Structure 1
Amino acid sequence: MTEPSFPTAGAQPVSKAELRRHAGLVRQREARRLGQAAGDRIARHVLDAVPLRPFEMAAGYWPVRAEADPLPLMLALKAMGHGLCLPEVAARNAPLLFRRWLPGEPLTAGAYGIPAPGAGARLVTPSLVLVPGVWFDRQGARLGYGGGFYDRTLEALRRGRRPTIVGIAYDAQLGDRLAREPHDAVMDFVVTERRVIRTR
């Protein structure tokens, strides 16, 4: 398999669809190769390098499609006294909602089959958001699945607030500068099993 790499200056541009396809293969390979160790290393990097507010509400995600696992970090944050929540797709063109979640509580199959807390779980507003992605660049730009959910969500959260936005990925999902559109959200940090990149 050929690893994807974002084209350098002068190269033929790669479409987002092709980059998503190649990046998905890389992500599957890294999930098999690194296993649980990646999530543990990511947790240590975040706790060591990302400033945290006392007892803040942290939005994680339930890993699907071989996404880098944030659950070790979420469990560590809960042990430190932080609250946890998970995203919910409310409507196709709307920002995500976040519902309070405690480890061990049952989840239901939400939109796109992604596990989420039930409708009875309390809605909350996170100040720390862990964001999965297909591809990231070292300036904090992110390529997602194409639905724009996190772009809309992070724009809404940043209105009048200063949440900390952390992209979570395998190091092999980092590449050169992505073409960025005005609506594309930028991460404050990108954290992999190998490093922490502070983008702002």
Structure 2
Amino acid sequence: MTLPPQDPTSWDKGQWRAWARQHRQQRPDHSAAITAHLSQFLQDAGVQRVLAYRALPGEPDVAALAHDFELLAPRARFRPTPRLTLHPWATATEPSRFGTLQPPADAPEISLDTIDAVLLPGLAFDVWGVRLGYGGGFYDRLLPAFSGLTVGVIADSLIVPELPAEDHDCPVAWLATEDGVLRVPIAPLKETD
């Protein structure tokens, strides 16, 4: 875990995103170590079908998990309501507006209730499992209907003590880093005014 150089307790998500983007450019690629830990964790949990992601530059690449698991790739849909749809991994051949590969609009869809685990990328996570994403809210719309394993995939140096969270944010239950896969503690209740 790395702390920003100044006191970030009053930072908004935009400031955190700027810090995380800069920080992850300076760190080595830990994809192989993270994927090895994830593979063992998922096997031990009896997982077979996994919603993964096609990595953006700076994100841990989990594509090697396709050797041992049935991976699915998400497609971001913007109309009528922003949402993710799930598709076979190999169909992710079309560039998305975010700069990663996604399945085409007509790729066969797979139901969320058939998925054992969801792997979430992020710019950063906090120790409570709160994800700092890219601002689209796609995973926050997907996860309330999901009851399987949720795993944030991130370099250890991008786990921070606390990120700003909103009511719609869905913390993950596990964090996978180059040091292993760790259970996220239950966040303490915050006092309200």
TM-score, scaled relative to structure 2: 0.82
What SS does the aligned partner of 2:98 have? Answer: helix
Question: Distance between the aligned counterparts of 2:109 and 2:54, measured in 1?
Answer: 17
* The one of 83, 86, 92 aligned to 1:98: 86
- Partner Cα distance (1:133, 1:59) in 2: 15
Partner of 2:101: 115
SS in 2 for 1:89: strand
Q: Is the 8 Å Cα contact of residues 141 and 184 (structure 1) preserved in structure 2?
A: yes
Structure 1 spans left out of the alignment, 5+ residues:
none
Question: Is residue 52 of structure 1 aligned with residue 37 of structure 2?
Answer: no
- 1:12 to partner: Cα distance: 5.2
Q: Distance in 2 between matches of 1:118 and 1:61?
A: 15
Q: Does 1:19 align with 2:16?
A: yes
Unaligned segments of structure 2, at least 5 residues: 186-193
- In the alignment, what sits opposite 2:180? 195
Question: Number of matched residues?
Answer: 179
How far the C-alpha of 1:65 sits from its partner, in A, is 3.4
Contact 2:73 2:92 in 1 (8 A): no
- Whole-angstrom CA distance in 1 between matches of 2:94 and 2:123: 24
Query: Shift of residue 118 of structure 1?
Result: 2.4
Matched with 1:64 is: 56
Name the SS for the 1:45 alignment partner.
Answer: helix
TM-fit CA distance, 1:138: 1.2
Name the counterpart of 1:4.
4
SS of 1:19's partner is helix
**Runs ≥4 in structure 1, deviation > 4 angstroms?**
none
Letter in 1 for 2:17: R
Supply the RMSD in Å over aligned alpha carbons: 2.3
For 2:131, give the aligned amino acid.
R
Question: Structure 2 CA distance, aligned partners of 1:127 and 1:106?
Answer: 20
Q: Percent identity?
A: 29
Q: What is the Cα deviation at residue 6 of structure 1?
A: 8.3
Task: Give the match's secondary structure for 2:83.
Answer: coil
Q: How far has the Cα of 1:168 moved from its partner? A: 0.5
CA distance in 2, matches of 1:191, 1:5: 24
Distance in 2 between residues matched to 1:195 and 1:5, nearest whole Å: 26
Secondary structure in structure 2 of the residue aligned to 1:86: strand
Aligned-partner Cα distance in 2 for 1:53–1:28 = 34
